[in-house]
Amino acid sequence: QVQLVQSGAEVKKPGASVKVSCKASGYTFTSYDINWVRQATGQGLEWMGWMNPNSGNTGYAQKFQGRVTMTRNTSISTAYMELSSLRSEDTAVYYCASGFTGWFDPWGQGTLVTVSS
Amino acid sequence: QSALTQPASVSGSPGQSITISCTGTSSDVGGYNYVSWYQQHPGKAPKLMIYEVSNRPSGVPDRFSGSKSGNTASLTISGLQAEDEADYYCSSYTSSSTLYVFGTGTKVTVL
């Protein structure tokens, strides 16, 4: 079945970087965009950016410009999201989600990133 | 890009119908037919329930329906069931470089 499987939980210190992976299976990885969405505990969803796995083209939310990088390795159907200069406010569950213009489906299981000194 | 506005909570008894609103601007909800809705149970990833305003993905019960009028989109759940108790989020494509915006989220309680 179509699914996205993400890497495990991370604990990072303020100022560090984190790289989360998202492995796709059950469909052609290059056929759909990969989006990244985060959710702080008890809070709503926040869109971070998208990547076209075929071309490698990316687009980032203004809030994360300069701090986020989305890449992929098509040989292993895996997308990556790296967030740098981490601060406590970046503590959240990070989701990858496949999709096309206007929708996100399916979603990965989420990766908890905790930023703490 | 500000979050779309949803009511914080909506409740209903089993079998009733409820409607969740999602209000944006002409730069997002009102400008595109790319409104989608997601259901999220506690501790789980969101699940797509409606896309392109009113289309249901395969496997989503027809009790769920979507519509849009002007800058406001709506999700209606007819014949409310216990398993519908969850958080619901709308999302819209936008005209800004921040391509997508989510709603503030609505907690649906089945009484």
Mean per-residue pLDDT, B82-109: 97
8 Å CB contact between A29 and A10: no
In chain A, which stretches have pLDDT less than 70?
none
Q: Judging by DSSP bridges, how do beta strands A10-12 and A111-115 pair with one another? A: parallel
Q: Which residues in chain A are contacts of B45 at CB distance < 8 A?
A: 95, 107-110
Question: Percent of chain B having pLDDT more than 70?
Answer: 100
Q: Across the interface, do B32 and A102 touch by the CB < 8 Å criterion?
A: yes
Q: Which residues in chain B are contacts of A62 at CB distance < 8 A?
A: 1, 96-98
Q: Which residues in chain A are contacts of B1 at CB distance < 8 A?
A: 61-62
Q: Between the CA atoms of B104, B57, A72 and A94, what dihedral angle is there, to the nearest 10 degrees?
A: 30
What pLDDT, on the 0 to 100 scale, is given for residue B11?
97
Q: Across the interface, do B100 and A62 touch by the CB < 8 Å criterion?
A: no
Say yes or no: B103 contacts chain A, CB-CB below 8 A.
yes
Of A45, A60, A105, the CB nearest to B102: A45
Q: A72, A47, A84, A41: which is closest to A62 by C-alpha?
A: A47
What pLDDT, on the 0 to 100 scale, is given for residue B68?
98
Tell me what the pLDDT averaged over chain B comes to. 97
What pLDDT, on the 0 to 100 scale, is given for residue B1?
75
Q: Which residues in chain B are contacts of A46 at CB distance < 8 A?
A: 102
What pLDDT, on the 0 to 100 scale, is given for residue B13?
97
